[in-house]
Amino acid sequence: MPTKKIASKTPSKKSTSLKPIKKTAIKTVAKKVATKKSDAGTPLSVVIRRRIEAQKARFHANDNISKFIQPGELEGLVDEVAEKMQAVLESLVIDTESDHNTKNTSQRVAKMFVKEVFNGRYIEQPTLTKFPNVSRLNELMIIGPITVRSACSHHLCPIMGRIWIGVLPSKESALIGLSKYSRLTEWVMCRPQIQEEAVVELADMLEKKIKPIGVAIVMDADHFCMQWRGVKDRDSKMVNSVMRGAFLKDSNLRREFLSLLDKR
């Protein structure tokens, strides 16, 4: 009689290798889902901060961080600031539910900070149209007074004032339209600033853009951190200047620039 073969109960190598593959796949999917949920719950400000830190860039109050913000994210940032501003109002023990004056204050303040008074941090530099110095102008030009609206980095109180810009172009300098001086000034000042640093930043930018023989800036401003709080001295002002190139070396040119401001 032929011998009857008995099937082995030992699973084949093929069947034993299926189980660990399935478990690994399940774990990978679960991990991806968990990561997705974690990312979705991360505040937008933290996401933007991580982008900046990954590039080892600075994000001080007076820095522009527009290149780290993706299209459509400013609206999300406004919503996040509004949520945190609401918490500030609640900590100040203000009943925003029954007080009609402060019901939407958190949203208004958030929009004001991100899209208005501090928007110089979040939007790109205004586009500049440069013109060649065809006539080879090399005479003193003064632009101003340009109205300045900024805020003190220390207390976020308003800084309101005026700026005058003096430019001595060279024959090779690029020329920009008069309105661009105002736009650039606003872009720099619409951030939490310190006046001493703000005028230096503006001078650096103008030197880089138009490459003149000399640049001079004078700023005259009221600081509400002195007038509204603290010593509450409503007559105090701060005036400071930056002189570069020919304005620093040539006392006659500097004197001419300053004397013309006195007549304004």
Say yes or no to pLDDT of 13 above 50: no
Q: Look up residue 81 and give its two tokens.
A: 């600031």
Q: Which of 74, 95, 124 is the last residue of a domain?
A: 124
Note whether residue 62 is domain-resident: yes
Find residue 165's DSSP bridge partners. Answer: 143, 217
Distance CA 90, CA 257 (A): 51
pLDDT band at 31; cut points 50, 70, 90 = very low
Within this chain, do residues 85 and 52 fall inside the same structural domain, yes or no?
Answer: yes
- Higher-confidence residue of 221 and 41: namely 221
Within this chain, do residues 52 and 175 fall inside the same structural domain, yes or no?
Answer: no
Maximum distance among all alpha carbons in the chain? 128
- Please report the pLDDT score of residue 39 as a whole number: 54
Q: Look up residue 172 and give its two tokens.
A: 């090779």
Which residue range(s) make up the domain with 58? Answer: 22-124
Q: Which of 93, 124, 155 is the last residue of a domain?
A: 124
Cβ atoms within 10 Å, residue 159: 23
Cβ(70)–Cβ(50) below 8 Å: no
**Half-sphere exposure of 136 toward its Cβ, with a 13 Å CA cutoff?**
1
The number of distinct structural domains making up the chain is: 2
Note whether residue 17 is domain-resident: no
- Please report the pLDDT score of residue 220 as a whole number: 96
Cβ(68)–Cβ(48) below 8 Å: yes
Note whether residue 245 is domain-resident: yes
- CATH number at 65 reads 1.10.286.10
Pair type for strands 130-132 and 141-152: unpaired
- Higher-confidence residue of 127 and 171: namely 127
Q: How far apart are the first and last CA of the chain?
A: 125
Within this chain, do residues 119 and 137 fall inside the same structural domain, yes or no?
Answer: no
- Please report the pLDDT score of residue 136 as a whole number: 72
Note whether residue 251 is domain-resident: yes
- Rounded to an integer, what is the distance from CA 9 to the centroid of its chain? 71
Residues 14-23 pLDDT 10s: 444 444 444 4
- Three-state DSSP class for residue 237: coil
Distance CA 89, CA 95 (A): 8
CB proximity list for 88: less than 8 A, separation 6 or greater = 106
